[in-house]
Amino acid sequence: MTNLPSGLASGKLPEEREVGRMVGGRGPTLIVIAGIHGNECAGLTAARRVLRRLKRADVTVRGELVAFAGNVAAMNAGRRFLVRDLNRVWTEAQVAAVEARQAAGGELDAEDKEQLEILTEVRAAIARATGPVYLVDFHTTSAHGVPFALFGDTLAQRAFVSTLPLPLIMGLEEQVDGVLSSYWTRHGCVTFGVEGGQHDDPASIDNLEAVLLLAAEAAGLFEPGSVPETRAAHALLEARRGDLPRVMEVVSRHAIAPEDAFKMEPGFKNLDHARAEQLLARDRNGEIRAPKDGLVMLPLYQGQGDDGFFWGRAVSSARMRASETLRHLRLDRFLDLLPGVARDKADPSRFIVDLSIARLYPLGVFHMLGYRRIRSRANQLTVERQPEDHASSSRRSN
């Protein structure tokens, strides 16, 4: 076996930012980012396979499918990142800062340069679009396991990912600041991420290829059923899920730092059931055990990273339907009538919760209405979500 970076044993390193492009008549745009973490390259090979398939003469493509490599410098080094995580720098303030440094001729580190090139390419693809714009961010995991989708909890993104036969995780994107997909949701795209499986498992490429074929069909790049391989893709992903719930949500994140000496217990898959009091990990303070029956998500089995694991639970279909009904009724308009809850004047998508007054409100109230980005400071919480109208604004008619 050749000594290639993780996920590339059956592919090749990217020579340019754009991996490939397929353009038809007026229609939707589907943007693929593969390898935003340099040791997660299976998505590159998957994108190349799909592009080759769609370029055959028996498929009529509407709109555009374009794939971009993520952290090219880190891919060439076989590392997750060189200076800092390229999937933690996508806030409005950080983007403005890196663009200001570039304009002033300031010093740019490796990830600054990568981010600026990705900004340029994705903005150009959005500017070319003649229909709705979708963006998928492809990843793999250090743990073995199944492919699954994660997404910012807007109704448009819920509706789109629900067409894919994957386990769905809500609230994971909101647990971490500065992720790429969240940034592009705010800028008019319907976005989602996919964890395709373990880094070096050839099946991860197959999984991501299947996801991309089905996403292209769901987005409307070709007529349903016109690409026969989509039937096999659907069957493959259905079989991968096993006994996992169809929809799950993140309850908490176990953040770590190098000095914690964190070590995950061996044997957990990227999504896995855990029993109450089961040993999950150890750090310098001792054992870390499951608080109750639930789900372990994305356990860390690699050197780089600051997420030890995420803790989650299943979400019933009845709860999903109730949540969507409440959100269509726009009941969030009345949240600031609750004692201790005030709308942030600087950002109408955010509420400030005074815990000295509102300590008894369950977070599930906010989750039902899509408010999953929850941060604590002193005696208050900030609770926010992606504005619903941003996702729907991706429809264009240039």
CATH 3.40.109.10 fits 248-314, yes or no: no
- Which among 212, 214, 241, 216 is positioned nearest to 148, based on CA atoms? 241
Please give the pLDDT value at position 3. Answer: 35
pLDDT tens series, the chain, 398 aa: 223 344 444 456 677 899 999 999 999 999 999 999 999 999 999 999 999 999 998 999 999 999 999 999 999 999 999 999 999 999 999 999 999 999 999 999 999 999 999 999 999 999 999 999 999 999 999 888 899 999 999 999 999 999 999 999 998 888 888 999 999 999 999 999 999 999 999 999 999 999 999 999 999 999 999 999 999 999 999 999 888 999 999 988 999 999 999 999 999 999 999 999 999 999 999 999 999 999 999 999 987 788 999 999 999 999 999 999 999 999 999 988 888 899 998 887 789 988 887 665 667 788 899 888 888 877 888 888 887 753 343 343 34
The whole-angstrom separation of Cα 99 and Cα 188 is 20
Token pair recorded at residue 28: 């939707």
Other Cβ atoms within 10 Å of 286 Cβ, number: 7
Please give the pLDDT value at position 397. Answer: 37
| Amino acid code (one letter) for 150 | L
Residues with Cβ < 8 Å from 62, sequence gap 6 or more? 24, 25, 26, 27, 28, 131, 220, 221, 222
> What is each CA distance from 14 to 72, 76, 79, in whole angstroms?
7, 9, 15
Please give the pLDDT value at position 13. Answer: 65
Token pair recorded at residue 370: 């899509």
Token pair recorded at residue 357: 């007054």
> What is each CA distance from 316 to 171, 309, 372, in whole angstroms?
15, 23, 17
Length of the chain: 398
Please give the pLDDT value at position 295. Answer: 96
- Which among 10, 359, 117, 139 is positioned nearest to 125, based on CA atoms? 117
> What is each CA distance from 282 to 109, 254, 261, 310, in whole angstroms?
34, 12, 8, 15
Please give the pLDDT value at position 377. Answer: 78
Q: Any idea what DSSP says for residue 197?
A: E
Q: Measure the CA angle with vertex 178, ends 335 and 201; round to 5°.
A: 115
> What is each CA distance from 342 to 86, 101, 356, 379, in whole angstroms?
34, 36, 13, 14
Domain 18-240 CATH superfamily: Zn peptidases (3.40.630.10)
Domain range list for the chain = 18-240, 248-314, 317-386
Sheet holding 25-34, edge to edge: 18-23, 62-69, 25-34, 133-141, 190-198, 148-151, 168-170, 247-255, 307-314, 294-297, 271-274
End-to-end CA distance of the chain: 48
- Report the greatest alpha carbon distance in the chain: 65
The whole-angstrom separation of Cα 194 and Cα 140 is 8
The whole-angstrom separation of Cα 308 and Cα 298 is 8
Sheet holding 279-283, edge to edge: 263-264, 279-283, 286-289
Token pair recorded at residue 132: 């709705």
